[in-house]
């Protein structure tokens, strides 16, 4: 039997329930994985609260790393004992052991330990597709990253700086601003100092930035549009402060023929070849020291509710892990 988290209704962190289940034997095309570390992501909050509706009851969690304990028929490229990680549906990563489709699982190189993998897979694959595919950042471009000391934000800043961009970050506190600077930001704006767009233009030059990576959502949306140079791209990839409200397409024209996109990791890794290419770029960046797994919070798996409270209260920086007992 294995400990698994289930949600039967949407709500606060208290709706995370722990049950003992038998993960069972893997069916065709599946593997069973014993988790060594589970990644906490803001999307887990959206699933819990119902912002992203799920059929209930449901498991929760999309990211973990561990070891294969059984393989199903037809799985030829993975074996029992292999060290693997994933950042994918089906939900259910908050568990000691679980079944996963083998084609969603990535083998880990010897150089990447389970904790780093669980901290980096979902957030790092996201940083990769945002910087290389959604808007391919070029040397000399100006980039605005919101929540720059957060899980995805920190990696975006490190990687974009490495690509030769000038990165401007936003952060919710002085301590977070220091982390964002360490991640490579040329300037860090604390939202509390007011008018973010004016400050961005002061830092980036009057024209504004070429791209905004905005995972904060409702609270930063207008400032993000107001910070962009003509023909710039607004990448709205999350809603930590609430969903972005509906807006008129003419808003984009009025600010200089801006582009707007709302991308999802799911679509960028739907093809296994894309998943493996993203993971390979991520592991290379880790080996080269371009990126590091910044694990600032660790909780026992069963204390996932405490981890959710901290994430929602903006008390975390970098990545948070849940560790099975």
Q: Which two tokens stand for residue 52?
A: 């992203």
The smaller minimum CB distance to ligand NDP, of residues 2 and 173, is found at: 173
Q: Which helix (H) or strand (E) holds 3?
A: strand 2-7
Using CB under 6 A, which of 34, 104, 162, 314 touches ligand NDP?
Answer: 314
- Which are the contacts of 150, defined by CB distance < 8 A and separation ≥ 6? 215, 240, 316, 317, 318
Specify the residue, 72 or 263, whose C-beta has the smaller distance to ligand NDP: 263
Q: Output the smallest distance, CB 45 to ligand NDP, in A.
A: 8
Of 35, 48, 128, 176, which one interacts with ligand NDP (CB under 6 A)? 176
* CB closer to ligand NDP, 34 vs 314: 314
Instruction: Confirm or reject binding of residue 126 to ligand NDP (CB under 6 A).
Output: yes
Residue 30 vs 154, nearer CB to ligand NDP: 154
Residue 319: how many CB atoms within 10 A of its CB?
Answer: 28
Long-range contacts of 47-56 (CB under 8 A, 24+ apart): 47/7, 47/91, 48/7, 48/10, 48/11, 48/12, 48/13, 48/15, 48/16, 48/308, 49/10, 49/11, 49/12, 50/10, 50/11, 51/239, 51/243, 54/7, 54/91, 56/7, 56/8, 56/9, 56/10
User: DSSP string spanning 164-194?
Assistant: T-EEEEEESSHHHHHHHHHTT-SEEEEGGGS
Q: Which stretch binds ligand NDP (CB under 6 A): 10-18, 101-109, 239-247, 253-261?
A: 239-247
> Interface with ligand NDP includes 216 (CB under 6 A)?
yes
Interface with ligand NDP (CB under 6 A), residue from 5, 33, 37, 43: 43
Element (H, E) at 263: none
Give yes or no for residue 282 binding ligand NDP (CB under 6 A): no
Stretch that binds ligand NDP, among 22-30, 211-219, 222-230, 295-303 (CB under 6 A): 211-219
Contact call for residues 302 and 324 (beta carbons, < 8 A): no
Task: Pick the binder of ligand NDP from 240, 281, 282, 307 (CB under 6 A).
Answer: 240
Residues that bind ligand NDP (rule: CB under 6 A) add up to a total of 30
- Residue 244 contacts ligand NDP per CB under 6 A: no
**Under 8 Å between Cβ of 104 and 77:** no
Using CB under 6 A, list all residues that contact ligand NDP. 41-43, 122-123, 126, 147, 149-153, 171-172, 176, 215-216, 219, 237-241, 263-265, 311-312, 314, 316
């Amino acid at each position: 039997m294995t400990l698994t988290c289930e949600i039967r209704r949407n709500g606060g962190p208290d709706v995370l329930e722990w049950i003992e289940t038998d993960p069972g034997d893997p069916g065709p095309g599946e593997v069973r994985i014993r988790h060594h570390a589970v990644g906490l992501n803001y999307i887990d909050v959206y699933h819990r609260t119902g912002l992203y509706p799920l059929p209930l009851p449901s498991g929760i969690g999309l990211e973990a790393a561990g070891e294969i304990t059984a393989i199903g028929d037809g799985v030829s490229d993975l074996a029992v004992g292999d060290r693997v990680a994933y950042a994918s549906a089906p939900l259910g990563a908050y568990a000691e052991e679980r079944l996963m489709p083998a084609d969603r699982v990535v083998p880990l190189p010897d150089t990447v330990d389970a904790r780093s993998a669980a901290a980096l897979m979902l957030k790092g694959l996201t940083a990769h597709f945002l910087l290389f595919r959604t808007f391919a950042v070029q040397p000399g471009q100006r980039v605005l990253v919101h929540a720059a000391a957060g899980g995805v934000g920190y990696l975006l800043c490190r990687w974009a700086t490495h690509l030769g961009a000038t990165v401007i970050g936003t952060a919710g506190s002085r301590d977070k601003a220091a982390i964002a600077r360490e991640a490579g930001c040329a300037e860090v704006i604390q939202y509390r100092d007011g008018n973010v767009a004016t400050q961005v233009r002061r830092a980036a030059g009057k024209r504004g930035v070429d791209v905004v990576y905005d995972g904060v959502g409702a609270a930063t949306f207008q400032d993000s549009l107001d910070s962009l140079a003509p023909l710039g791209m607004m990448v709205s990839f999350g809603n930590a402060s609430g969903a972005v409200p509906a807006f008129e397409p003419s808003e984009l024209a009025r600010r200089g023929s801006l582009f707007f996109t709302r991308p999802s990791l799911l679509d960028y890794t739907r093809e296994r070849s894309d998943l493996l290419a993203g993971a390979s770029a991520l592991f290379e960046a880790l080996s080269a020291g371009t990126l590091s797994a910044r694990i600032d919070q660790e909780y026992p798996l069963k204390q996932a509710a405490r981890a959710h409270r901290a994430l929602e209260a903006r008390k975390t920086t970098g990545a948070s892990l849940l560790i099975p007992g």
